[in-house]
Amino acid sequence: MKRAEKQPHDSARFDLPPDEVRRIGYLAADAIASHRESLTSRPVFGKVGTAAGLFSGPAPEEGVPFEETLAFVREHILPFPMGNSHPRFYGFINATADPVGVAADGLAAAMNPNCWGGDHAAVHVEKQVIGWLASAVGFPLEAEGILVSGGSMANFTALAAARRAQTPGNVREDGLGGPDRPRLTVYASDQVHACVDKAVDLLGIGTAQLRKLPADEKFRIRLEDLESVVARDRAAGFTPAIVIGNAGTVNTGAVDPLDALADFCARERLWFHVDGAYGAMAVLSPRLAPLFSGMARADSIAADPHKWLYVPYEAGATLVREPGRLGNTFRRFPEYLASDAESPFPGPAWFAERGVELSRGFKALKVWMGWKTHGRRGYAASIENDVRLARFLSDAVDGRPEFERLADTVLSIVNFRYRPAGRSLPDADLDAVNRRIVNRLVGDGSFFLAPTVLKGRTALRVCIVNFRTREKDLLALLDEAARIGEEISSASAG
């Protein structure tokens, strides 16, 4: 890297002429294309490791030319990605980014609107995208929503609306503290995402009031347990308020009995929230939609475009059936946003009234451009392909004696474990072996997956939200896991 050149320190450094803006854009596009090209020749997961010192210096006093900054990015940052654009990345629920969404994020940053409200184009685009998402999940035309950073904020935002709707008095002003305030209770299976714990905590309800009911053998909530726990809570003076149904759990992809939950919530006057951060967008496939029967009856739904619509981070969505619920929860106009009847800038939607944030970026553009370019059919085909690949892997696991499947394959997640052929090992030993398999696979950079724990047993968990994965990538995983598993268990047996 050449030494920093002296630069003028004035606003010209920021206010570049259009040609220079274009030139920088081309340089970035070149870097992006090279990154894409070289991905498969590197480890799936970029470990910075001993190079951490490159990122330890103090803030630079003097600037350098853009080319120098970009050269560092190309050499030391782009080659060490999270890995989720690699065909052999199966971790968490981290999708591979659609290049259309990447271009859209650049355009959105250039336009740089603040999407709190107003009549500028970005607000119209977001309103349209919310309409598309709401319609896709079967919500009525008048349903409202907002794009947020992801599943955590999508669930938080919906649960805030639920808290507002279900708390006696005005919880916004009165809070939950003090002698006469209700003790709200919230219900979900033990497979519910940890972000719900965070939301229940942050909203002042407290996680001790989140009833996590042990899931059934298919990792779904048990209705009879829910009924009895709600009754017990009512008798004990709690205020049962919210039920959360999963539309694709993060562990296994299980879908709770949403129709039955909707019936129960209607009967008991509970807010029915569906966490569909992972699964909800699969309704775009007519083949998969029946799995989510009852979701359309929810009061609110969390869905993540940055999962199964493959847009780059960040884009989650909160959708709420009844208009006005989000406004009742979040509306608060500061004086400097004061407007009047003659105001020349009314707009189609006031997103600052629908969520936590006032300043909000243009997340909607990537969803909008992706949907325009791929259409519903494009998304459906790609989601179906992920599900098909998961079933392919699931069948392959079932066909090999050295593997044991640990959960039904419902969407695009497969859980299984290695089990040395011809030997019967206790679960604790199998857990250790399978953890070591994961650590070896990830450590040598050939695959990325993370283990999970299902009914106390460690599982190799493969999640496919990745249009670059092929059948051969999955077979290679099984071959390699078996090889390592055999090596480990032979060594420990010897």
Which one among 46, 223, 225, 263 touches its own copies, defined by CB under 8 A?
46
CA-only gyration radius of the chain, Å = 25
- Pick out residues in 440-469 that bind its own copies (CB under 8 A): 442-443, 450-453, 461, 467-468
Q: How far apart are CA 101 and CA 364, in angstroms?
A: 10
Which one among 153, 303, 319, 464 touches its own copies, defined by CB under 8 A?
153
Q: How far apart are CA 458 and CA 64, in angstroms?
A: 49
- Pick out residues in 307-326 that bind its own copies (CB under 8 A): 310, 312-314, 316
Instruction: Give CA 200 to chain center in angstroms.
Output: 18
Question: Residues 6 or more apart from 437 whose CB is under 8 A from it?
Answer: 418, 460, 481, 484, 485, 488
Which one among 5, 132, 234, 398 touches its own copies, defined by CB under 8 A?
132
Which one among 435, 479, 483, 490 touches its own copies, defined by CB under 8 A?
435
Toward its own copies, which CB reaches closer, 229 or 260? 229
Where does this chain touch its own copies (CB under 8 A) — which range of 166-174, 295-303, 395-403, 482-490? 166-174
Q: Does 55 bind its own copies (CB under 8 A)?
A: yes
Which one among 2, 3, 58, 424 touches its own copies, defined by CB under 8 A?
58
Q: How far is the CB of 261 from its own copies (least distance, A)?
A: 22
Which residue from 262, 248, 186 is spatially nearest to 220, judged by alpha carbons? 248
Q: Does 76 bind its own copies (CB under 8 A)?
A: yes
Kindly report the number of other CB atoms within 10 A of residue 431's CB atom: 18
Which one among 5, 48, 214, 401 touches its own copies, defined by CB under 8 A?
48
- Say whether 83 sits in a helix, a strand or coil: coil
- Pick out residues in 369-428 that bind its own copies (CB under 8 A): 369, 371-378, 380-382, 385
Toward its own copies, which CB reaches closer, 262 or 360? 360
Q: How far is the CB of 429 from its own copies (least distance, A)?
A: 15
Q: Tokens 């970029």 correspond to what residue?
A: 46
Which one among 7, 228, 490, 492 touches its own copies, defined by CB under 8 A?
7
Which residue from 233, 230, 239, 150 is spatially nearest to 198, judged by alpha carbons? 150
Kindly report the number of other CB atoms within 10 A of residue 17's CB atom: 9
Q: How far is the CB of 401 from its own copies (least distance, A)?
A: 26
- Say whether 179 sits in a helix, a strand or coil: coil
Kindly report the number of other CB atoms within 10 A of residue 36's CB atom: 15
Query: How many residues sit in the footprint of its own copies (CB under 8 A)?
Result: 187
- Pick out residues in 216-245 that bind its own copies (CB under 8 A): none
The β-bridge relationship of strands 403-405 and 413-418 is antiparallel
Q: Does 285 bind its own copies (CB under 8 A)?
A: no
Q: Does 27 bind its own copies (CB under 8 A)?
A: yes
Q: Tell me if 79 sits within 8 A of 38, measured CB to CB.
A: yes
Toward its own copies, which CB reaches closer, 46 or 293? 46
Q: Tell me if 431 sits within 8 A of 457, measured CB to CB.
A: yes
Which one among 229, 356, 425, 476 touches its own copies, defined by CB under 8 A?
356
Q: How far is the CB of 377 from its own copies (least distance, A)?
A: 5
Kindly report the number of other CB atoms within 10 A of residue 144's CB atom: 25
- DSSP run (H or E) holding 40: none
Q: Does 327 bind its own copies (CB under 8 A)?
A: no
Contacts 24+ apart (CB under 8 A), 173-178: 175/204, 176/204, 176/205, 177/204
Q: How far apart are CA 131 and CA 451, in angstroms?
A: 37
Where does this chain touch its own copies (CB under 8 A) — which range of 254-262, 264-272, 305-313, 393-401? 305-313
- DSSP run (H or E) holding 441: helix 427-443
Where does this chain touch its own copies (CB under 8 A) — which range of 12-20, 216-224, 266-274, 421-429? 12-20
Q: How far apart are CA 244 and CA 300, in angstroms?
A: 10
Toward its own copies, which CB reaches closer, 345 or 423? 345
Q: How far apart are CA 42 and CA 49, in angstroms?
A: 15
Where does this chain touch its own copies (CB under 8 A) — which range of 264-272, 290-298, 368-376, 478-486? 368-376
Where does this chain touch its own copies (CB under 8 A) — which range of 106-114, 221-229, 290-298, 419-427? 106-114
Where does this chain touch its own copies (CB under 8 A) — which range of 4-12, 214-222, 255-263, 472-480? 4-12
Looking from the CA of 43 toward its CB, the CA atoms found within 13 Å total: 15
Toward its own copies, which CB reaches closer, 321 or 461? 461
- DSSP run (H or E) holding 146: strand 144-148
Q: How far is the CB of 256 from its own copies (least distance, A)?
A: 17
Toward its own copies, which CB reaches closer, 197 or 259? 197
Which one among 2, 3, 37, 267 touches its own copies, defined by CB under 8 A?
37
Q: How far is the CB of 147 from its own copies (least distance, A)?
A: 11
Q: How far apart are CA 155 and CA 273, in angstroms?
A: 8
Q: Does 491 bind its own copies (CB under 8 A)?
A: no
Which residue from 309, 307, 239 is spatially nearest to 278, judged by alpha carbons? 307
